Amino acid sequence: MSVDKKTVAKIADLARIAVREDELDPLAAELNNILGWIEQLSEVNTDGVAPMTSVVEVALPWREDKVTDGGYRDEILANAPDSAHGFFTVPKVIE
């Protein structure tokens, strides 16, 4: 499996990272280099092996259904690059 320019553009788009046209080829080369090295995993026989879900052997803790958090809007918005009337604001979503 090797990635081409088009694939790099596609995954950069999925990851929402702007990539200039002239960066695509070098990026593809870098990714292929890493993916090629990762390729050695295919020699491991993993038939019947369960994928790891967690390294800790404990049960998922459950929280009580109680309102214990929230109610501090100023702190929620304190770091926002932009906000208005208690809302986060973003450039208008054009669909």
Partner 1 sequence: MTDLTKLTLAEARDGLAKGDFTSRELTQQHLAAMEKGRELNSFIVETTDIALDMADKADEMIKAGRGTGMTGIPIAVKDLFCTRDIHSCAASHILDGFKPKYESTVTANLWQDGAVMLGKTNMDEFAMGSSNETSYYGPVNNPWRATKQDGRLSENNYVPGGSSGGSVAAVAGHLALAATGSDTGGSIRQPAAFTGLVGLKPTYGRCSRWGMIAFASSLDQAGPITKTVRDAAIMMESMASYDDKDSTSVNRNVPNYEHALTGDIRGMKIGIPKEYRMDGMPQEIEKLWQQGIEWMKAAGAEIIDISLPHTKYALPTYYIVAPAEASSNLARYDGVKYGLRVEGNGLSGMYKNTRAAGFGDEVKRRILIGTYVLSAGYYDAYYLKAQKIRTLIAQDFAKAYEKVDVILTPTAPSPAFAMGEKSNDPIAMYLNDIFTVPASLAGLPAISVPAGLSADALPLGLQLIGRAFDEETMLRAAHVLEHAADYTAQPKIWWGEK
Partner 2 sequence: MEKYIPKYIQGATGDWEVVIGLEIHAQVASEAKLFSGSSTKFGADPNTHVSFVCSAMPGMLPVINEECIRQAVRTGLAMGCEIHLRSVFDRKNYFYADLPQGYQISQFKDPIVGEGEIIVDLEDGTTKTIGVERLHLEQDAGKSMHDQHPTQTYVDLNRSGVALMEIVSKPDMRSAEEAGAYFRKIRTLVRYAGTCDGNMDQGSMRADVNVSVRRPGAELGIRSETKNVNSVRFMMQVIEFETRRQIDLLEDGGEVFQETRQFDPASGTTSSLRSKEEAHDYRYFPDPDLLPLEFTQEFVDDLAKALPELPDAKRNRLINDLGVSAYNAAVLVAEKESADYFESLLDSLAHKTGKAKEELAKQAANWVIGDLFGALKKTGKSISESPVSLKDGAELLALQIDGTISGRIAKDVFEIMLDTGKNPELIVEEKGLKQVSDTGAIDAIIDEVIADNQDKLVQYRGGKDKLFGFFVGQVMKKTQGKANPQVVNQLLKPKLDG
Indicate the residue type of 62: W
55 binds partner 1 (CB under 8 A): yes
The reply on whether position 87 binds partner 1 by CB under 8 A is no
Which tokens is 68 given?
């214990």
* Per-residue contact flags (x/-) with partner 2 for residues 54 to 93, judged by CB under 8 A: x-x-xxxxxxxxxxxxxx-x-xxx----x-xxxxxxxxxx
Distance CA 9, CA 14 (A): 9
Q: How many binding residues for partner 2 (CB under 8 A)?
A: 36
Q: Check binding of 24 to partner 1 (CB under 8 A).
A: no
Q: How far is the CB of 65 from partner 2 (least distance, A)?
A: 3
DSSP element (H, E) containing 4: none
Single residue of 21, 22, 44, 70 touching partner 1 by CB under 8 A: 44
- The nearer residue to partner 2, 48 or 86, going by C-beta atoms, is 86
Distance CA 53, CA 59 (A): 12
Torsion, CA 77, CA 79, CA 83, CA 89, rounded to 10: -100
